[in-house]
Chain A
């Protein structure tokens, strides 16, 4: 079973990386970009019987720093 974990910065947390990407896109001539936020995608290859609670624990204990980041789990 595969699960994908999306880790994103919480709203309001300054994202210097997203800002730099934004500027670079504008530098390439793309217009109309209101904002860019960068995050991470982590793909997990898991045993079939893995419970949701266990994946959530992986996120809170390591994959995301919940001081500054949110996470979303998508089971394939």
Chain B
């Protein structure tokens, strides 16, 4: 699988994501700078890392979503290329319009940094195919703006279409309907606040994030 990890000024999980992708797929991703306007030839997965791109100025992910490389990512997503956004990457995807809704300041106003319980709501996506539907897993979160909000009509629609792939099993950040991870309508774009790349090896405490990348490897080839 040929993959690309985007790097914005202020990204800080780009290396973690690259290490995880390499560990699972056996192939290191290309690191792609935000000022680049094209993805490497044959990119099958674009991964947008966590961090504080552009210092979270204006809104989390707002500046990154309008950077030159994101035009190429939006075009790639339209062609069906897999796009994964973790944490700040999820914020970038909503700001870019690739996913609906918005990620607002956590309801408790605090930065939340701990391992949280999650339910895999669908195994029918290239990102979750290696999990059992209804399976409870645990992944680390570390964010200040993870409170997913959308209007009731949008929430009903994404629920009805089976696009809420991951849900918190307890209170974390005030997200509407406990939404932790969301797919686009075609199922090739996935944004999630938890960090699967931080749960790859036994030394991380658990390996629940590993199967996300294993499923992707299987699907993208």
With contact pairs A67-B101, A68-B149 given, residues A16 and B58 touching in the complex (Cβ less than 8 Å): no
Q: For chains A and B in complex, what number of residue pairs have CB atoms within 8 angstroms?
A: 36
Nearest Cβ on chain B to A65's Cβ, whole angstroms = 6
Closest to B101 in A: A67
The smallest beta-carbon distance between B107 and chain A, in angstroms, is: 6
Say yes or no: B95 contacts A13, CB within 8 Å.
no
Inter-subunit contact A17/B58 (CB<8 Å): no
Tell me which residues across on chain A come within 8 A of B150, comparing CB atoms: 67
Q: Is A17 in contact with B105, judged by CB distance below 8 angstroms?
A: yes
Top 4 A-B residue pairs of the complex, sorted by shortest distance between their CB atoms: A67-B102, A68-B102, A16-B105, A16-B109
Residues on A with C-beta less than 8 A from B174 are 14, 16
A34 contacts B by Cβ under 8 Å: no
Binding site for B on A (CB under 8 A): 13-14, 16-17, 20, 61-63, 65, 67-68
A residues less than 8 Å from B58 (CB atoms): 62-63
User: Once the chains bind, are B66 and A14 in contact (CB under 8 Å)?
Assistant: no
Asked if A68 and B62 sit within 8 Å, CB to CB, the answer is: no
Find chain B residues with CB under 8 A from A61 CB. Answer: 66
CA distance A9 to B93 in the complex (A): 20
Q: In the complex where A14-B149, A68-B149 touch, is A62 in contact with B66 (Cβ < 8 A)?
A: yes
Q: Which residues of B contact A63 (CB under 8 A)?
A: 58
Chain A residue, CB-CB nearest to B65: A62
B102 adjacent to A16 (CB under 8 Å): no
* Residues from chain B with Cβ under 8 Å of A67 in the complex: 94, 100-102, 149-150
| Inter-chain contact A16/B107, CB cutoff 8 Å | yes
**A68 CA to B176 CA, complexed, in Å:** 13
Beyond A16-B108, A62-B58, 8 additional pairs, beta carbon < 8 A = A14-B107, A16-B104, A16-B106, A16-B107, A62-B62, A65-B95, A67-B94, A68-B149
